A = this chain, B = another copy of it.
Amino acid sequence: MSAIPEDFVRKTARLSEEVTRPFPSSTKLYIQGSRPDIRVPLRQIEQTPTLTSGTPEENPPIPVYDTSGPYTDPAAKIDLLKGLPALREAWILERDDTEQLDGPSSEFGRARQADPELAHLRFEHIHRPRRAKPGRNVTQMHYARQGIITPEMEYIALRENCRLQELREDPRYSKLLRQHPGESWGASIPEEVTPEFVRSEVAAGRAIIPANINHPELEPMIIGRNFRVKINTNIGNSAVTSSIEEEVEKMVWSARWGGDTLMDLSTGKNIHETREWILRNAPMPIGTVPIYQALEKVDGKAEELTWEMFRDTLIEQAEQGVDYFTIHAGVRLAYVPLTADRVTGIVSRGGSIMAKWCLAHHRESFLYTHFDEICEIMQAYDVSFSLGDGLRPGCIADANDRAQFAELETLGELTKKAWEHDCQVMIEGPGHVPLHKVKENVDKELEDCFEAPFYTLGPLVTDIAPAYDHITSGIGAANIGWYGTAMLCYVTPKEHLGLPNKQDVRDGIITYKIAAHGADLAKGFPGAQLQDNALSKARFEFRWEDQFNLSLDPERAREYHDQTMPKEAHKVAHFCSMCGPNFCSMKITQDVRDYAAKQGISEDEALEKGLEEKAMEFRKQGAEIYKKA
């Protein structure tokens, strides 16, 4: 402990109260699986009763998918210096197909561990890494193809269902579970996500479970178009700004606000040490782009990159526990000139590094030529591929061009190769695409890459709104999610302009939760509409607290309401600031219903049977209604 400077300990070891306090009126539950150590977190939002109609009507709690990890569990003891509990450790050990190494097997990993100057930055409790025993394959896809349902798969099934089957048996939820039939564009979404369904989707390559054996702390989740649409968030320091403390706190914020996975895109100093801190405290899968770090090792000179150095980086990061790697192996030499006439050339960092390497050496990149060896590393730790779109369009003009689609076809070829190694694969997608060209991206990806999960950045549907690119891209994201993208990579308001701060991360995440949820609703994912229905019922009944609590960002909803009507009494007021006390459409509608109910008949019947003669009476009564307010 003494090696870590005091201010660092103080900042990171004690997360601020605001990032760890439980969500309002929420209970953290754990769904019990088939064995004691399968305990799937779930947040349940408690509601107040409906008071408007005589006897109070109970409003049942609403379960929501919970990404926040142990940080929102009042019973959990959080100690960033020790890291999260290794909940998957027993599962990994039981499989008896891995071995614990004496220490890092990468040169770089060993050098960093031995460097006394890094002691003050280093995470204290570094585990010795595990690796597949010789000849063994430890990927979830491998198990799935053997017909094995892993604890991870069962965990995911329970997580995706969010207690829906129980709720269906409970009459309190019958009206709340009403839902529009979806349009899923050929997806095969089941009524119930069973462990066997999870297994079969992973076996088919239609879904992945990013879960490195060296990241036992993670709460398993799945990425595939027959499951809930997920969102990825990015953090990362750079040469210009940001520190370890900030990055770890951003990771916890990301979990809190709803990030399903997180990429550490750091390009500055000490990224090895930063990554260790993040991984040991991350309840979600962590992804990286190893080429960024490799480039640091050659002082930014892309042409000096070598396979050996890249290989060492892969092993270094795999042994730390990174769950998925973006690898731009689809940037082929012949595709680079296809970008010459573009408005914005190559905008992917990884893509431009590899393009430069290819041109300098006039050879296919080592990522492409050594792909089989990369697969062998991936399968030894179960790192999933995120095959990078190095030639993605950086503006509307360049969308869906030959360079982009040529690379996508190569990614399909590589997907097949990776699957021969039972490696898990997802495919990255653009970028900047006008609305009417979004669907072509999904259709082509599904065909060319054999339904491997699609993972897209946005896309932005226009280039003209820097400072609002969470929104330009959120529009594209909702659409592409609906069409079949399995995971949406978030974009913050600072995209193209600077590094996101905490508020930017929050805005980016909530925007993408909206996009992902909008896609789930449109696809008709079972139970997706429950939260909407509950919130709308609360809104209609002026249960302000419930409306805030059921929303994606309860704190901001409350804050915005308070800006106009700060008093506590207004939280139960049967009107809102928009219309004032005498004039509220919701109140009028409720009055109409109440009147009909008072007559002992439905509104419908009242209209049919007796309203004509009762009109006068109603008029008298009705005229009094508003005086009460």
Contacts and interface: CB of A to CB of B under 8 A. Distances in A.
Interface of A: 178, 180, 182-183, 238-241, 267-268, 292, 295, 299-304, 333, 336-337, 339-340, 343-349, 351-353, 355-356, 359-362, 394-397, 399, 432, 434-437, 461-468, 470-472, 474-475, 478-479, 482, 493-494, 496-499, 501, 510-511, 513-515, 517-519, 521-524, 529, 531-533, 535-537, 539-540, 547-548, 550-553, 556-557, 559-561, 563-565, 576-586, 588-593, 595-596, 602-604, 607-608, 611-612, 615, 618-619, 622-623, 626
B479 A589 contact: no
Contact of A471 (B238, B511, B550): B511
A462 B535 CA distance: 10
A607 B360 contact: no
Contacts of A336: 592, 603, 607
Given A356-B622, A563-B501, A529 B396 contact: yes
A292 to B, nearest CB: 8
A521 B353 CA distance: 31
A464 B532 contact: yes
A618 B564 contact: no
B588 A344 contact: no
A559 B493 CA distance: 12
A564 to B, nearest CB: 3
Given A239-B581, A435-B521, A464-B535, 10 more contacts: A303-B619, A352-B589, A359-B607, A359-B611, A435-B482, A465-B553, A466-B560, A467-B553, A471-B474, A497-B561
B362 A611 contact: yes
B618 A580 contact: no
9 nearest CB pairs, A to B: A239-B580, A498-B564, A395-B536, A345-B589, A435-B522, A300-B582, A352-B585, A352-B588, A436-B522
A511 B507 CA distance: 14
19 contacts: A178-B397, A180-B437, A239-B582, A267-B579, A267-B580, A292-B583, A345-B589, A349-B585, A352-B585, A362-B611, A395-B540, A396-B533, A461-B518, A464-B532, A467-B553, A471-B514, A472-B514, A472-B518, A496-B576
A531 B497 CA distance: 18
Main SS of the interface on chain A? helix
A553 B304 CA distance: 41
Given A521-B435, A551-B467, A345 B586 contact: yes
A514 to B, nearest CB: 5
Most buried by B among A240, A340, A360, A498: A360
How many copies of this chain does the complex contain? 2
Nearest to A523: B436
A345 B593 contact: yes
A367 to B, nearest CB: 16
Contacts of A466: 535, 547-548, 551, 557, 560
Nearest to A298: B623
